[in-house]
Structure 1
Amino acid sequence: MGYYIGIDVGSVTTKLALIGNHGEMLWSTYRRTEGGPIEAIQQSFFQLSKEKGLLNQEILGIGATGSGRHLASVMVGADVVKNEITAHAAAAKHVEPRVKTVIDIGGQDSKIIFIKNGISTGFNMNSICAAGTGSFLDHQAGRLGIPIEEFGSYALKSYSPVKISGRCGVFAESDLIHKQQMGYKKEDLIAGLCIALVSNYLSNVARGKKIEPPVLFQGGVAANQGIKAAFEQRLDIPITVPEHHNVMGAWGAALLAKQWHERTRHESAFRGVKTISSFSCVPKTFSCADCSNHCEINELYIGESLASRWGSRCSKWSDLERSSKDYRETRHFPLQGFQQQVSS
């Protein structure tokens, strides 16, 4: 008997999932990253240690995904590191083996994944426009004075949705403010916003491609009943929101770690639940000026040791034994001198 862990570090939230031998969800946590992914990762593992009390040898594999997957993989000792598309598709196929379309709307981006006979055949992603994402809806809920948990239910109360421009986040917010000043009810404004954001998604993310059922709606925004209802009204097909819709990326990463272990039978590089929640972890960065690329080199120190370095287009900085301390001192202006230059 063993367990598998998946971690999904996004720009807005950090998710952790623990699954069993059959891929079933046993435990999960979902917290806001709040600009501190290292702290969010450590707090998630502290919670896992406190609530489950697992032994290190019970963890047979761990996977990482999300925009912060490279940082997370070094911190936790991940066996598998995959992008969000792969992780979300893996979780969707586990929940619904017949799934053909996955709609995923996260904190900062939106995705659509097309699946045929259990194989991902394509995807589209929109990481430029924030309209319809979790951070955008959070902002609008706060501006309207409505808890984000109640935002979607307001839309379902509307009998006369207001027409809102949903071409982009800026236009949507501007139009929403204008209509609000005209005295429209909050439920009509929110319903109109949900309809506009779904139209934006279908034109800018789905890009006219046919959306076939079964359809799974994943990501934090899937909790918004107004967005789900707008999708069903526009597509005229049922939309399924999985029970663990907000941690599907982490679940998928854990499933991929399970596949890795069953295929290789290798011992996991997992650092340990209690170790991760307590060690000192410090990121550092510098720019390499040895060529015209000016690569931003990222380093991660665990304790006093350099654990990983990435960002170089060449292999110059792949050797962890190579010190960058002298390089930083010779290639950068001292902070005091830089401040003097700026002030002058």
Structure 2
Amino acid sequence: MSHVFLRNRGSPIDSVKFGMSKLREHIKTQTELQEYAIRACGTTGSARYLTKAVVGADLAKTEIIAHAVATQVLYPEVRTILEIGGQDSKIIILRDGIIVDFAMNSVCAAGTGSFLDHQAARLGIPIEDFGDYAVKSERPVSIAGRCTVFAESDMIHKQNAGHSKEDIIAGLCDSLVRNYLNNLSKGKDLEEPVVFQGGVSYNKGIVQAFERHLNSKVIVPKYNVLMGALGMAILVKDYYLDHGHQTDFRGLNIAELNFETSTFHCTDCPNQCEIVEVKLPEKGDEVVARWGSRCGKWQVF
């Protein structure tokens, strides 16, 4: 499976352009892909509509749907999906292949990949090794995990008290899992099989903490960081087979296009909405995306 996994670094457009350039380079080196043809393109995630407009995608779906679709294909009996990414976390409950409940936390950074990245950097540990430290712990300490500020303060206090990095990291993993379950799983039956995905699922300490708190086996898929993209690929494939129209995808050469972003205020009503507009100068200032109006008047995706 050809893929590129990147952090968006606060700029979805630049990240997509860079990702497309890397994907193009990868495809060029694969002889079996020399005659490839892209029939359809889909986007998902928090910037799905902006990305859809930029790349010329044919379909955009929420990550809840995309994650559920991919997981069901790989694990047809799945009943609980845990997902923690770089910026948010979510839980999806399925019964007989249908999403019956879900919860998402995109407000608090506690427990997300960005918070763990920050703590790994502060401790001088590569994020790839963070989980290995946790599983080596013999006496995990208690860390306040309900808030990133309190968690970091508590970690510093434990360091000053002489606790090992292993015990502190194990305590952090445990507290973040407790926080995740307290915030997202209230009133939900987390039945097996349980599948854990997203970048944080690479962290062995988090996986162990989930298994301990849920008292059940937690499955981490082979494509754990690509499940949203995989689900979207399945959805857009079905969309193409149902509709069969020519794709609007701009091609992998999108990396060479320049997009300009600007804002203006709509004065048609007292709301004075700030409208964000993305243009493509190479195409005569074609407006590829516009959003921000409460009434939807200016929306272009």
TM-score, normalised to structure 1, is 0.82
1:77-123 deviation line (CA, Å, top 9, x unaligned): 11111111111111111211111111000111110000111111110
Aligned to 1:94: 73
Distance 1:182 1:71, change over 3 A: same
Aligned counterparts of 2:6 and 2:132: Cα–Cα separation in 1: 22
CA distance in 2, matches of 1:266, 1:57: 18
| Other-structure match for 1:332 | none
Provide the residue aligned with 1:266 in structure 2.
245
Residue in 2 aligned with 1:313? 294
Which of 117, 120, 142 in structure 2 is aligned with 1:141?
Answer: 120
Which amino acid is the alignment partner of residue 24 of structure 2? Answer: S
The code of the aligned residue for 1:125 comes to M
Q: Is 1:294 equivalent to 2:269 in the alignment?
A: no
Distance 1:175 1:161 in 2: 13
- Match of residue 66 from structure 1: 45
- In the alignment, structure 1 residue 83 sits paired with structure 2 residue 83: no
Structure having the higher Rg: 1
Q: Which runs of 5+ in 1 are unaligned?
A: 1-25, 321-344
User: Of 202, 205, 208, which aligns to 1:229?
Assistant: 208
| 1:198 to 2:183 alignment | no
**Alpha-carbon contact 1:91-1:255 (below 8 Å) kept:** yes
Secondary structure, counterpart of 2:103 in structure 1? strand
Q: CA deviation at 1:55?
A: 7.6
Match of 2:97 among 105, 118, 123: 118
Q: Which residue of 149, 167, 170 maps to 2:146?
A: 167
Alpha-carbon distance between aligned partners in 2 of 1:199 and 1:108, rounded to the nearest angstrom: 18
CA contact (8 A) 1:56 1:273 kept: no
Letter in 1 for 2:105: N
Cα 1:139–1:301 shift into 2, 3 Å:
same
Match runs of 1:329-340 below 5 Å: none
Deviation of the 1:315 alpha carbon:
5.1
Helix, strand or coil for the counterpart of 2:2? strand
* Aligned match of 1:28: 3
Change (3 A) 1:235 1:286: same
- Aligned residue number for residue 21 of structure 2: 46
Question: Does the Cα contact within 8 Å between 2:140 and 2:171 map onto a contact in 1?
Answer: yes
SS of the residue aligned with 1:61?
Answer: coil
Q: Does structure 1 conserve the Cα–Cα contact (< 8 Å) formed by 2:258 and 2:280? A: yes
More strand by share: 1
- Secondary structure of the residue aligned to 1:30 is coil
| Alignment gaps of 5+ in structure 2 | none
2:136 and 2:27 mapped to 1: Cα distance?
A: 41
Separation (CA, whole Å) in 2 of partners of 1:193 and 1:81: 35
The SS at the match of 1:32 is coil
SS of alignment partner, residue 234 of structure 1 = helix
Post-superposition offset of 1:208: 4.4
Change (3 A) 1:27 1:318: closer
Where does residue 339 of structure 1 map in the other structure?
Answer: none
Pairwise CA distance, 1:292 = 2.5
Q: Which amino acid aligns with 1:44?
A: G
Contact kept in structure 1, 2:292 and 2:299, CA below 8 Å: no
- Residues 15-72 of structure 1: per-residue CA shift (max 9 Å, x gap): xxxxxxxxxxx21110121222222111111112111146898111111011111211
Q: Please give the alpha-carbon distance, in whole angstroms, between the structure 1 residues aligned to 2:296 and 2:84.
A: 36
Residue aligned with 2:22, SS: helix
In 1, are the aligned partners of 2:194 and 2:218 still within 8 Å (CA)?
A: yes
